[in-house]
Structure 1
Amino acid sequence: MSTIEKVQEKFLEEEAVGVNNEIVLHNDDVNTFDHVIDTLVRVCKHDDLQAEQCALLVHYKGKCTVKTGPIDELKPQWLGLIDAGLSAEII
């Protein structure tokens, strides 16, 4: 087995073990940019610029991944987004 094959095999193993979930925020016609930005800062610990960029992506693309990680870490943040009236899912 060549070095390249060994590296690729190791990468695939690590990728399978470290699979993360995502919180995907969806666009809606209800929430303001300011509310979305403030909520992302408060709930997901985004800085102002990151939250603004996510809000713009959601607005123009319809959705945006706002956080990745293990499900047990994402669930409280997802609930915080839902409680704030945002449309989000964990995938």
Structure 2
Amino acid sequence: MTYLVRVFVSLKPSILDPQGRTVERALDHLGHTNVTGVRVGKLVEMTLSGEREAVEAQARELATTVLSNPVMEDARVEITEIAPASPVEAGA
């Protein structure tokens, strides 16, 4: 089976987010004065294939050892099964 894996990485709440603060100030200057608490993170998407349990374990490992710094960042993993392409879509 093939899965779309999304890893959402964000700074832990206790870590200052200068990029988020910059975005917040820019939004304020553009007239969006009701926006507060902006935090900026990253999204990593990848496709993994295999048995679901193995894919989940691999995705969690990648999220915490390669894609994020667990001292400063939180990582959340989302896994969605990708339906196999129909013969028409695959060009058969």
Q: Which of the five TM-score ranges fits, normalised by the shorter chain?
A: 0.3 to 0.5
Looking at secondary structure, tell me which structure has more helix per residue. Answer: 1
Q: TM-score, normalised by structure 2?
A: 0.36
Q: TM-score, normalised by structure 1?
A: 0.36
Which structure is larger by alpha-carbon Rg, 1 or 2? 2
